[in-house]
Amino acid sequence: MIPHSRPTLDDFDLSVAGELLTSGRLARGQVCERLESLFCGRFLDSEDRGPWRARAVSSGTTALHVGLWALSNLRSAPSGTCPGEVVTTALGCNALIHAIHAVGARPVLVDTLPDGNPDAEKAAERVTSETLAVLAPHLYGNPVDLSPLLSLDAPIFEDCAQCFGTDGPNGRVGARGALMMTSFYATKLICTGQGGLVATDDSELIEEIRDLCEYDHREDAKARWNMNLSDWCAQLALPQLQSHAENLQQRRQIAGRYTEAFADLREKLEVPEPCPGHVWYRYVLLTPEASEAWIEDLVSQGIETKRPVYAPLQRTFGLSGRFPVAEDHWRRSLSLPIYPTLTEGEQEQVIEAVKRAAGRLL
C-alpha cells in the first residue's frame, strides 16, 4: 500500500542523537532556542517587519491554544467581555475549535472558497468589537489571500500547520498577521513526531506566551502549563530547516506531474491548477459526486487516499450557520499521496490508479 502520508527524515544525523542522549539535557534548552531563532530567521523575518520571536511547544494544538490564551490575557474585547469570539473557517482541523474552547472563547465559523481555503471577505464581515482573533489556516499548503482582513483591528492568527517557507498573495506566509503557528506532527512539512511552534513580532505577546509555558520559579498563582517541546525533538527539526526549500521543490514537482497527467480528466474531475506559493502539503482533487467511491477504489488498488479534512467543523461541534461551499468541497474532496519521499515509481502508480478509477467511475 502506498501510504497517504510519510515523514521525511532523510537528513537526520544519527550521531547527534547519541550526543544528545549523553549530554544529560533532554528537556527544553539550547536546541529549542536554536530552532526558534532559525525558524524565525529563515521563514518569518523580513525588512518590513520583525524581528519575529518563537516558542517551540509540544504540538500544533498547543501552539493554537497558547497563542489564543496569550491574546486573551493581554487583550480584553473592547466591550470588556473577554475572551470574546474567534472567527475561523468551517473547514479545518478539529484543533482549531478545541483551542478556541480551551480559552473560553466562542468560535464563529465562515464559509470557504471553492478551493477549501477560508473566505477572507466573509471572515472580515464577521469581525466585531468582540473579536479576539481571526484564525486562518492556509489549507493544503495553499496561501490564503488575507487582503480583506489586513486593515482591520482584529489580530490575524495564521495557522501555518500546512504551509510556511513560501510567499503568498500578501507576502511571506505566516508573517502577515499578528502571530502564526505551525505543527511538527509526524507527517507535517517539518516533523518531530509531535511538536509545534508559535511566533510573533509583538514583544509583549511573546513574553506572555513564554510566561504561560513556564510554571517553575514563579511566585504568583497565575495559571501556566508546561507546553514545551524537548531538545530531543527539536534536534530532529534542525536539519529539516535546511532541506525545507528542496522538499517544497519536490512537492511542487510531484503536483505538476499529477496535474499534467490528469489534464484529460479535467472535464469531469476538478484538478488543482499550478498556483504560485502553494507548497502542496496536500494534493486534492474534487470528484463530480461524493468521493467515497473513489477512496474505496484507490485503496483497493493499493493507494491510500482520504478526505483531507475529517469533517466540516460545524458538524462535529454542532455550531450554527450554513456553509454550502465548504460542505460541497468536503463531500467531493479526494487527497492523493504527495510527499518528498514518494518515489517516481510510486507517483506513476498513483497516476495509473486514478486513471483506472476514472475509467470505472466517470
Length of the chain: 362
- Interaction of residue 115 with ligand PLP, rule CB under 6 A: no
**236 belongs to the binding site for ligand PLP (CB under 6 A):** no
HEC letters along 205-240: HHHHHHHHCCCCCCCCCCCCCCCECCHHHHHHHHHH
Binding mask 201-220 for ligand PLP (x = CB under 6 A): --------------------
| Binding of residue 60 to ligand PLP (CB under 6 A) | yes
Is the Cβ of residue 77 or residue 307 nearer to ligand PLP in the bound state? 307
Q: Are strands 106-110 and 85-89 parallel, antiparallel or unpaired?
A: parallel
Q: Which residues on adjacent β-strands are paired with residue 110?
A: 89
The contact pattern for ligand PLP, residues 93-112, with x = CB under 6 A and - = no contact, is x-x-----------------
DSSP assignment string, 235-289: HHHHHHHHHHHHHHHHHHHHHHHHHHHTGGGTTTSB-PPP-TT---SSEEEE-SS
- Terminal-to-terminal C-alpha distance of the chain: 24
By the rule CB under 6 A, 337 interacts with ligand PLP = no
Q: Are 169 and 15 within 8 A, CB to CB?
A: no
* Cβ proximity to ligand PLP, 146 vs 269, nearer residue: 146
Amino acid at 131: T
Instruction: Select from 8, 117, 131, 162 the one that contacts ligand PLP (CB under 6 A).
Output: 162
Binding of residue 335 to ligand PLP (CB under 6 A): no
Q: Is 196 in the site for ligand PLP (CB under 6 A)?
A: yes
Please say which residue, 32 or 95, places its beta carbon nearer to ligand PLP: 95
Does position 280 interact with ligand PLP (CB under 6 A)? The reply is no
Residues that bind ligand PLP (CB under 6 A): 59-61, 92-93, 95, 137, 159, 161-162, 183, 185, 196
